[in-house]
Structure 1
Amino acid sequence: MSNRAYEEELLAAIYDDDNPDGPDHDYFRELALELSATRITDLGCGTGILTATVTEPGRTVVGIDPAAAMLERAAVRPGGDTVEWRLGTSALIEPDSSDLIVMSGNVAMHILGDAWTATLRDISRGLRRGGVLAFEARNPLAQAWRNWNRPAQIRETAAGSLREKTTTSEPDDEGIITMDSVNEFRDADQVISVSQRLQFRTFETLRDDLSAAGMRVRDSWQNWDRTPFTGSADEPLMIIEAVNADDLHT
């Protein structure tokens, strides 16, 4: 199996339907307005379904993603011509370039090991004074991976009839789970097998990782309505807002 979840054209074709615009995107758009952000970077932007909606006159928006198939769709979507799309990783974030850096969806959980450390350092360098990093992650206490096992089932998609099956492992000692999916695109007569690894980090781990990169948590929420996160197992989501340490006044 290969990790091709975001590199295959057929999987990219159904991404927007499986990850539609919603309250999560509303949150990021509202945050951009509250910060009066004129420079926004969307790291792991995918097809740009969020990225293209934060553009406005006088605002510079950059979308970065390592998957060419996703960026090809991003570039031709409505509003895509107003975004600067970059193929790559956080290494492409320019120093002191962003008022707001976003990692939406499960982007943060896909970045493992030394790459996670490097990503946070790149982000910290990329934030302008007063800038904010905003991202979401799953609370490991809620054990969401147990709901990700799916028996084979068929559904209609933008790419035609799809038969799919997902098997998810328990976390290892570092909180990393492996999610194996078999995607049979029946109309295209193509089977794409994908193996993905995602890391569940505790709030304390995220806080310490951000601190090591020179950032501090300023707010944490359990939902998109901004209810404060308390660390309970019945709070499946952690939404983190962080700033550079020098910009946090306590």
Structure 2
Amino acid sequence: MIDDPYRDTELVELYDVDNPDGPDRAYYRALAGEIGAEKIIDLGCGTGLLTRSLCTPGRTVIGIDPSATMLDHARKQPGADAVSWILGDAAAIPPTGDADLAISTANAMMHVRPAALPATLAALAAALRPGGTLSFESRQPAYRQWEEWTPDATYGERVIPAGLLREWLVVTEVADGRVVFDAHNVFPDGEDRVYTSVLYFRDEAEFRRELAAAGFADITVAGDWHGGPALDTSRILVFRAARA
């Protein structure tokens, strides 16, 4: 059984508020239009905000996520019936070899363990047609963004249906590209719901090696959502590759 990494319904309902539509989702929608994608796979679709917006007449869209709580939320949203929702990780991707586009957004690829990355990329390749496109983003390790995730810098308060919610992050471990942090969520009754996340920061060279090994070619990397160069000062790395 897959552990649900986002199992708190009260917090999942805040996810789209915290992650509104923006240039990242605009990039993926534009990419789908650019290549004329008729079948799209969204791995790590979460609450499906982007996934649902990719649905157009005649287009098949599949959303896959390991969180049952997030998928339950996604299925209740307007337009959800146009998406085929699948509970699972990369192992659940149908290896049909006919998808035009596969995406993994919101830095979802950073949650994939090093030992699981080859199989994840191989599963994405198996879902794509020859020449099909894969695109995803990941945080640039040289930028060292985890150093900004201090309690003081991330502390916030807001009113939710349950009352006043207080939030902050605490990084507990940094080693060899692996960053572990706790997200504290203190509810009005004083309960602190702490959720631990593990992210794997990989540089451009590592992703290029793994992509090539999984059968991808024509690999390009940008440092922002508008095609700018990937620099050490870039906050993100945006990858695009084609199934060979």
* Range of TM-score over shorter length: over 0.9
Q: Report the AA paired with residue 219 of structure 1.
A: T
- Quick check: 2:65–2:86 contact (8 Å CA) kept in 1? yes
Aligned to 1:239: 238
1:212 aligns with 2:213: yes
- Quick check: 1:41–1:102 contact (8 Å CA) kept in 2? yes
CA separation in 2, counterparts of 1:68 and 1:32?
Answer: 26
> Superposition RMSD on alpha carbons, in Å?
1.7
CA separation in 2, counterparts of 1:67 and 1:222?
Answer: 29
Aligned to 2:54: 54
- The Cα shift of 1:169 comes to 4.0
Count of aligned positions: 239
Aligned to 1:29: 29
1:183 aligns with 2:185: yes
1:154 aligns with 2:157: yes
Q: How does 1:120-135 map to 2 (within 5 A)?
A: 120-135=121-136
- The Cα shift of 1:5 comes to 4.7
- Quick check: 2:132–2:242 contact (8 Å CA) kept in 1? yes
Aligned to 2:168: 165
Q: Report the AA paired with residue 137 of structure 1.
A: S
- The Cα shift of 1:177 comes to 0.4
- Quick check: 1:52–1:80 contact (8 Å CA) kept in 2? yes
1:105 aligns with 2:118: no
Aligned to 1:85: 85
Question: Could you tell me the percent identity over the aligned residues?
Answer: 39
Aligned to 2:228: 227
- Quick check: 2:182–2:194 contact (8 Å CA) kept in 1? yes
CA 1:90–1:5 in structure 2 vs 1: closer, same or farther (change >3 Å)?
closer
Aligned to 1:13: 13
CA 1:192–1:135 in structure 2 vs 1: closer, same or farther (change >3 Å)?
same
SS of 2:174's equivalent in the other structure is coil
Unaligned runs of 5+ in 2: none
CA separation in 2, counterparts of 1:48 and 1:36?
Answer: 21
Query: TM (normalized to structure 2)?
Result: 0.92
CA separation in 1, counterparts of 2:194 and 2:218?
Answer: 37
SS of 1:72's equivalent in the other structure is helix
Provide, for residues 53-76 of structure 1, a one-character-per-residue CA deviation record: whole Å limited to 9, x for no partner. 000111000000010110011111
Aligned to 2:118: 117
- The Cα shift of 1:161 comes to 2.0
CA separation in 1, counterparts of 2:175 and 2:157?
Answer: 31
